[in-house]
Amino acid sequence: MKSTNDEETQRKSLSTRESQALSQLASENRQVISISDIADALDIPQKSAKDMAYALKEKGWLERIAHGKYLILPLAAGENAVYTAHEFVIASALVEPMYIGYWSALNHHGLTEQMSRTVYVVTTERAQEREIHGVTYRPVTVTEQKFFGYQPTAVGSNKVNISSIEKTLVDCADHPEFCGGISELTKAMQNAVDTHCSWERIVEYLRRVGNGAATKRLVYLADQLGIDLPEYRDLVENFTTGYPLLDPTREATGTRDSTYQLRLNVDPESFLPGDFS
């Protein structure tokens, strides 16, 4: 564990150029920087910036979080230099293109009270799961067809892509395993009723995503919660064949419901609110 004096020594160990780079980038409220940012800040070649980034990492002022991407670790980060940058900002530096989705987006939009120590990062690229300061960053790779429905959102002084309420609900119906299961999706849909959620847009997004299981789950839950989905008859008439699980996080048990063409492997009383079960 570093003492305060040790950290003061570490601060003094910075060269003038290193101090200049960190000061300039920190003054711009930058939390995650690249080698190119260092090169631009000091007007130096990429090779020199790369060498400086390595030196700053060795001295404990930067932490490498991805190829060519670093967290600035200020003195105020504490004795163990644990940085508290918003997880979404860190996530945005791990892979491109990306948006924050699933359970993480449900939390952002206030649609669930359950907190997850996993940040779900939706991308079209292959990426490895990472753990940084006790937080797991889980990339979920989707097709280009499903990569839409997000917008840049202010997170502190940064902007991070986060899925909209509508796309978040559709994504969670597509993959309930990334939002805590069908019970969390149910609560999120009920909470969405009191927001500016557009059910018309949800139907549009269901068609764009093109997953029959997601459509069946949302139609089923909407009926249980008394939500009137637009174009309801058309959705039902175009159900795909097969009986996917209502909740893929649970065992493949339960009855096959011919109305929704779903395998109801969860007792509705276990996840529907008291007024609906």
Give me the pLDDT at residue 84, please: 59
Report if residue 275 sits inside a domain: no
* pTM metric for this prediction: 0.82
Q: Are residues 39 and 123 in the same domain?
A: no
In a domain, 82, yes or no: no
Sign of torsion over alpha carbons 202, 206, 209, 213: positive
Same-domain status, 142 and 215: yes
The count of other CB atoms within 10 Å of the CB of residue 207 is 14
Specify the pLDDT at position 76. 55
pLDDT tens-digit readout, 112-132? 988 788 999 999 999 999 988
- 129 and 71: one domain? no
CATH of the domain at 49: 1.10.10.10
Q: How far is CA 122 from the centre of its chain?
A: 7
The Cα 61–Cα 112 span in angstroms is: 36
What is the pLDDT, as a whole number, of residue 149?
98
Cβ–Cβ under 8 Å, residues 86 and 159: no
Round to whole Å and give the CA distance between 185 and 266: 13
Look at residue 236 and give its three-state secondary structure. Answer: helix
How far apart, in whole angstroms, are the C-alpha atoms of residue 138 and residue 118? Answer: 7
Residue 53 shares a structural domain with residue 155: no
The DSSP letter of residue 215 is H
**Spans of the chain below 70 pLDDT:** 1-12, 74-85, 274-277
